[in-house]
Copies of this chain bind each other. A is one copy, B any other.
Amino acid sequence: MGINTTEQTEKQRREIFLYIKNYIIKNKLKANDPLPSENTLAKRFGVNRNTVRSALTVLKVQGLIYSKKGKGFFVMERPKQMLFVQDASLGFSEMLDQAEVEYSSTLLSIISRTASKQEQAYLKLKPEDEVYVLKQLREVAGIKLALCYSVIPKDMLPGAEKRISGFSGTNQIFMELYGYEHPVCVKTLIGAQCADSETVRQLEIPDSIPIIRQENIYHLPNGKPIEFFVIKARADLFSIQLNFDKNNNGGTKK
């Protein structure tokens, strides 16, 4: 068949797409197992290599496979979803504690700058006030799970740059290093977004994985704002559970 003859419009690309998906299932391929090469598939289906490539591209943006130049295509690993129970009294680290998973925190950077308008509102700051911004990478069960940003009024942590070490969460800093009471979450905002380039790079994920973005505002028990905490976590691994059983406020319907 030299030139296009018949029903090329209803895509044979889909046929190859489905073949690969079935191939993975039937052969019970696990993560990082190799797939047939582009040329092999092109010959098997009697189509051009470009057509095979367009099918593989779809699988790639869906995060089912990945490729390495000079080597081939491989099955992407799809780890199991983890569930984390959210509570006003728990910080992020403590939530991981409660979930009984092994985790670690790496302090990527700490800078100080003036507060943005949003941060001024959340932390009750004046435009000239400065904040510390701590960027952290959280790994859970050996997997890079989330990028976290802590925004903290600078006057709450005098000399923080030199005092912070052996870091494993800001609540530890607040309580053990500065003697504050346990902060309480007064507001949480949960959304989802596409992975930005920094998140893709730091978490080493394909940009097809959606990101759960959680913003928390923490106060001290006396009402003083102490932290604006942003979590950007891989949504394929991270989900949030909220229980209303206990602190049921009686259903005050408006």
Which A residues are within 8 Å of any B CB, using their own CB? 61-62, 81, 83, 86, 88-90, 94, 97-98, 182, 184-194, 208, 210-212, 221, 235-236, 238-254
B187 touches A243 (CB 8 A): yes
Copies of this chain present in the complex amount to 2
Of B98, B188, B211, B241, the residue contacting A242 (CB under 8 A) is: B188
A186 touches B243 (CB 8 A): yes
B212 touches A253 (CB 8 A): no
A88 touches B187 (CB 8 A): no
Of B83, B89, B94, B247, the residue contacting A189 (CB under 8 A) is: B83
What are 23 residue pairs bridging A and B, where the CB atoms are less than 8 Å apart in the complex? A62-B194, A88-B248, A89-B249, A89-B251, A94-B254, A182-B253, A184-B244, A184-B248, A184-B251, A186-B243, A186-B244, A187-B243, A188-B241, A188-B242, A190-B212, A191-B239, A192-B210, A193-B210, A193-B235, A193-B236, A210-B210, A221-B251, A247-B249
Among residues of B, the one whose C-beta sits closest to the C-beta of A248 is B88
Contacts A194-B208, A253-B182; is A189 near B243 (CB within 8 Å)?
A: no
Q: In the complex, given contacts A62-B194, A185-B244, A193-B236, what are 8 additional A-B residue pairs having Cβ atoms less than 8 angstroms apart?
A: A81-B191, A89-B249, A97-B254, A189-B241, A190-B239, A190-B242, A210-B211, A247-B249
The complex places the Cα of A212 from the Cα of B244 at a distance, in Å, of: 20
Among residues of B, the one whose C-beta sits closest to the C-beta of A190 is B240
The complex places the Cα of A240 from the Cα of B244 at a distance, in Å, of: 16
